[in-house]
Amino acid sequence: NEDIQGRLRYFDVDTGTDTEDWYRVVMDEDGELTMTFLSDGSLNGFIYFYRKDGVQYNNTSYVAGQESTLSLDCIAQDTVYVRFTGNSGCGSYTGSVSVTPPAIDKDLEPNNVFEQAQETFQVGEDIEGRLGYFDVDTNTDTEDWYKVVLDEDGQVTLSIQSSNSLNGFIYLYSKANGQYTNTSYVSCVESSLSVDCLAEDTVFVRIIGTSGCGDYSAMVNVTPTTLEADVEPNNVFGSEQELFETDEEFTGRLGYFDVDTGTDTEDWFEVQLSNDGTASLNILSEGTLNGFIYLYSKAGGLYSNTTYSAGVPQTLNISCLAEDIAHVRIFRSSGCGSYTASVNVSPDIYDNDPEPNGSLATATPTNGGTINEGHLGYFDVDTSNDTEDWYSFQVGEVPFEVEGELQVVGSLNGFFYFYNSGGGLL
């Protein structure tokens, strides 16, 4: 913006005709340079832009009395050279160089390779910078790198909009420099790319310019799952962090990738079964999460398992389990997403009998006409299957006649016995 003034084409015997002048101009910004030039008298000629190493950028002609302009885009903050030549006539001139910078401030350099990422951004925070501007010492700035801290598991979306003539590609990388995906962008058009199944972690954004120059504004957003995560670590039997009651819902997430721990493929939970009965493990997953559900004993023995698919309720039933602690395993075979699960137990019809009463010696005393309720056939890790119950009653007089009635609910089959006090089968 400083006036450059001079004269050309005046003749001196000793030096001849002065046909050209050179000036240095210090740019204060990246941007588009514009030379404005006006000569008077009869002076006609050319104006030029040169690099500071003497390489010509471009030129145009001028005519006396007419304002001429010469523009040069995509130049970084640097020193340029201006050359004025006079081809005919003579006269004085005035010129100035102005810079139209990008609207957005520069990014923090150096950030041209993965290891040089200088800035860390949060999800939803504007990432701003410039690309495509040429400096003689460092050449054209063609790429920028940034770190972004993901605050949630979910689908990660990188969006960008560039100005002026800047076109190129955007990339997402893991913090170990593994590329997830990329896509192209075009100046003045919003572009985006998405990567699903990423865990709460740090990712790297790479923005490259393949043509043109300009500034850009980019942002990383995360679309999380709707359900809360489970308490980690709970990836193997015995690492369960949470104990749930019967009918209590528990939520979790599977399939999300973290560089340090890999993909979370399974979760384990403990559930207190409220009573003897048929235990039902229920699950509903969302997103793209598919896999298997398992129910184990508290000793790690597998009862049963079945598959589940995203968006489809699934139930696994295991009959004849005693009031005990069970272990739930939820395994991911493909996709990612969150899930809701619970364990229900079929209600008791009759009360359980007082234990121990599994032998003649431990028989529960009862009286004639008394209704006794009990359970048989339910498995407990500590006592195994309860296969028999014993009761004793006093005979008031002899001879006597006794009648026993047994009513069974469920799938229980077996035998009903009478013994004398010495253990003899009647």
Q: Please, are residues 327 and 268 in contact by the beta-carbon 8 Å criterion?
A: yes
Least confident of 19-33, 98-112, 359-373: 359-373
Q: Please, are residues 157 and 203 in contact by the beta-carbon 8 Å criterion?
A: no
User: In the prediction, which pLDDT does 401 show?
Assistant: 86
Exposed e or buried b per residue across 137-174, where buried means at least 16 C-beta atoms within 10 angstroms of its C-beta: eeeebebbbbbbebebbbbbbbbbbbbbbbbbbbbbbb
Cα–Cα distance, 351 to 390 (Å, whole number): 16
- Looking at residues 64-93, what average pLDDT do you find? 98
Give 206-261 pLDDT, tens digit per residue: 999 999 999 999 999 999 999 999 999 999 999 999 999 999 999 999 999 999 99
Half-sphere CA count of 192, side-chain side, radius 13 A: 12
Residue 402 confidence class, pLDDT cut points 50, 70, 90: confident
- What does the mean pLDDT of the chain come to? 96
What's the whole-model pTM score? Answer: 0.88
Residue 292 confidence class, pLDDT cut points 50, 70, 90: very high
User: Which DSSP category does 236 fall into?
Assistant: S
